[in-house]
Amino acid sequence: MSDTQDRQQTRHITRALRLLWEVNPRHVLGVLAMTAVTSVIPAINVQVTATAVQAVADAVSSGNGRDAAFAAGGLLVGLMALGHFFAVGRNYLETLLQYRMANQVQERIMDKAVRLQLRHFEDPTTYDGLQRASREAGFRPYQIFADLISVTSNAVSLVSVTVVLISWDVRVALVVLLAPVPTMVANLFYGRIGWKIEHDRSADRRRTTYLQYLVTTDRTFKETRLFDLGPLFLDRFRALVGRFYTVDRSLEGRQAVASAVLGLLSVGAAGGAVLFAVSTTVGSGQIGQFAGYIAAITLVQNALGALFGGVAQLYEHNLFLGNLFSFLDIPEDALPSGHRPFPAQLTKGVEFRDVSFAYPGTDTPVLQNLSMLLPAGRCVALVGQNGAGKTTLVKLLARFYAPASGQILIDDIPVEEYDLADLRRNIGVIFQDFVQYEASVRENIGFGRVTELDDIESIRRAAGKAGALPFIEELPDGFDSQLGRWFEGGRQLSGGQWQKVALARAFLRDSPIVVLDEPTAAIDAEAEAEVFGQLAQIVGRSTTLLIAHRFSTVRVADHIVVIDHGKVLEEGTHFELMERDGVYAKLFRLQAAGYLDQPAESRS
Ligand SMILES: Nc1ncnc2c1ncn2[C@@H]1O[C@H](COP(=O)(O)OP(=O)(O)OP(=O)(O)O)[C@@H](O)[C@H]1O
């Protein structure tokens, strides 16, 4: 392994230990203290065992000395009790530490995810990293500590027992000590292969999770059942986990064979030591020392096995821990935030000036020298075919991405100069793929402005503007009704009702800029007319960007911009664009004809 890797490994260990210390220093110290005591007990045990056996043998052969034999036996019992209490205490503290550590690491993963940028979430490698990190989060970091403790404690036991053993015979001590080395080397070797396999399969692991999601949630149920996709997804899942199993089985098999063969060396060495002890005892007649030998050989074998096993485990956990830390270390590319406070009311408006953009990792320009103005207090509608770049414009406005060239100005000030949090707080958006929170109605709307989560009057007003009040009032617990089907007592809403709730969430923000991306796609015509009839009143003096495919919606806008392949094709009011008889007029007539059941051409 290279020096850099070595250094990284050490860093992972120290980082995991630091994390643990931060979780609860008192518990860490408690575990260490108890471990120190339990580690020297075996050596004392060996000595006391030898003394006790000798005392019993003397008592049997001489007929007196019963008290000494009982005293030595009592000491053995005392040691057992001590070992037992310390083991229980240590186990208790370890379990608590483990729980706290697992929570803490999960929390850090979530906290990290909250601070990443949209581009990270639109990149599959981030998901792989997240997947790897989450898999390790529950137990690996604590395991490092547990391994270190076990390694240290076994080392202490080993040294103390070896001292006893050496005092009896150096040669036996050496044979017993070296025997388990080959097994440890094999474990290290297979540990690394195991890590590599798991690392390389994280995309497939995510696939299995996704397939599970497809067949186990209400969101996907209707379609997967109707299209009879369940068996297909199940087959794909089975194939993937089957492949994992075949690879794992082969690895485990090779590891088992290696351990069995190399383990024979240890057994042979221990056997030799036992025979040696037999021959020495037959010569000296010291029965107590023979008992001590047997206890010591077993102890050394066990402690060495555990020590080397612990080192191999430490190595393996450490490799996996690298996954967790690489996720936590993904550069967040926190956008530089300006300091300018956002204006309460726009005076000029929002201007896209000569904006070009391509998504990271792609060469295809999504926006090409696009310029347009959203005048303050007015409603501009943006229309264009699927993939024309409409939603991308909103992502740039909210600074989820930065334009490759050109500028976005709000009241003539580049967006980068505004305080970032303030900028986002002042844009009320509902995206096409808005979130249906499995939470109460109040929260679903209140999440639009968390400071008003408990302000039921504002929430009610926002619901009223979005036309959501009538159905909310019919729900069993009104605004406190749980929505969705994931949690107990939840009520499922229709697509249109969810959309109204999302609209209410955007209206609650009461922000100077409102962006409605396909806001009424699922709403019935009557409700749509109602919402848009009141749009001017609802958005007040906000500067509004309306993205829509339905032309009935678009007509209410003060100004309409048609974009195609990231460029402005034409713009004007509905009447101007109809008069111009360009793309807009053509698409409008096409839709109108669809409604009226007439050929498009005959109506022009
Ligand atoms: N994260 C991304 N990475 C790479 N390309 C993307 C990404 N998101 C969108 N695109 C591409 O950018 C183009 C514009 O997408 P955008 O979502 O802005 O279109 P839109 O006009 O809003 O479409 P629609 O009317 O279907 O919602 C599309 O070709 C799309 O494939």
Domain that holds residue 488: 434-510
For the chain, report the end-to-end CA distance as a whole number of angstroms: 76
Last residue of a domain, one of 483, 510, 537: 510
Spatial neighbors of 387 by CB under 8 A, at least 6 apart, are none
Kindly give the number of the ligand 1 atom that is closest to the alpha carbon of 566: 14
- What secondary structure letter does DSSP report for 483? B
Strand order in the sheet with 543-547: 427-430, 513-517, 543-547, 379-383, 559-564, 567-572
Q: List pLDDT tens digits, range 529-587.
A: 666 666 666 666 788 898 887 777 777 788 999 998 889 999 999 899 999 998 888 88
Is 279 inside a domain boundary?
yes
Is 55 inside a domain boundary?
yes
- DSSP sequence for 168-235: H-HHHHHHHHHTTHHHHHHHHHHHHHHHHHHHHTHHHHHHHHHHHHHHH-HHHHHHHHHTT-HHHHHH
Is 292 inside a domain boundary?
yes
Distance 391 CA to ligand 1 centre (A): 7
Is 87 inside a domain boundary?
yes
Kindly give the number of the ligand 1 atom that is closest to the alpha carbon of 362: 4
Spatial neighbors of 77 by CB under 8 A, at least 6 apart, are none
Is 537 inside a domain boundary?
no
Same domain, 313 and 172: yes
Q: 383: helix, coil or strand? A: strand
Residue 375 dihedral angles phi and psi, to the nearest 5°? -65, 145
Is 189 inside a domain boundary?
yes
pLDDT bucket at 600, cuts 50 / 70 / 90: very low
Distance 42 CA to ligand 1 centre (A): 68
Q: Which pTM value belongs to this model?
A: 0.71
Q: List pLDDT tens digits, range 195-254.
A: 788 778 877 888 888 888 888 776 777 677 777 788 888 999 999 999 999 999 998 898
Same domain, 311 and 448: no
Asked whether residue 264 carries a pLDDT value surpassing 90, the answer given is no
Same domain, 74 and 198: yes
pLDDT bucket at 460, cuts 50 / 70 / 90: very high
Q: Which residues line ligand 1 (CB under 6 A)?
A: 122, 359, 362, 366, 384, 386-392, 432
Distance 351 CA to ligand 1 centre (A): 21
pLDDT bucket at 522, cuts 50 / 70 / 90: low
Give the C-alpha separation, 521 to 499, whole Å. Answer: 8
Sign of the torsion angle spanned by Cα atoms 259, 261, 262, 264: positive
Give the C-alpha separation, 130 to 141, whole Å. Answer: 16
Same domain, 143 and 22: yes
Which residue's CA is minimally distant from atom 28 of ligand 1?
Answer: 387
Last residue of a domain, one of 309, 328, 347: 328
Is 18 inside a domain boundary?
yes
Kindly give the number of the ligand 1 atom that is closest to the alpha carbon of 119: 1
CATH number for position 276: 1.20.1560.10
Distance 589 CA to ligand 1 centre (A): 26
Mean pLDDT of 113-128: 79
Same domain, 146 and 263: yes
Helix spans in 24-65 (H): 25-62
Mutate to test the pocket of ligand 1, among 392, 515, 553 (most ligand atoms within 8 A of CB): 392
Identify whether the C-beta of residue 340 lies closer than 8 Å to the C-beta of residue 413. Answer: yes
In this structure, what token pair is assigned to residue 569? 């094709």
CATH number for position 486: 3.40.50.300
Distance 383 CA to ligand 1 centre (A): 14
Which residue's CA is minimally distant from atom 4 of ligand 1?
Answer: 359
Spatial neighbors of 519 by CB under 8 A, at least 6 apart, are 430, 499, 502, 503, 506, 531, 546, 548, 553
Last residue of a domain, one of 510, 533, 548: 510
Distance 162 CA to ligand 1 centre (A): 69
- How many domains are contained in the chain? 2
Q: 373: helix, coil or strand? A: strand
Is 241 inside a domain boundary?
yes
Buried b (16+ CB within 10 A) or exposed e, 547-578: bbebbbbbbbbebbbbbeebbbebbbebeebb
More confident residue, 244 or 191: 244
Spatial neighbors of 114 by CB under 8 A, at least 6 apart, are none
10 Å CB burial of residue 143 (0-12, 13-18, 19+) is buried
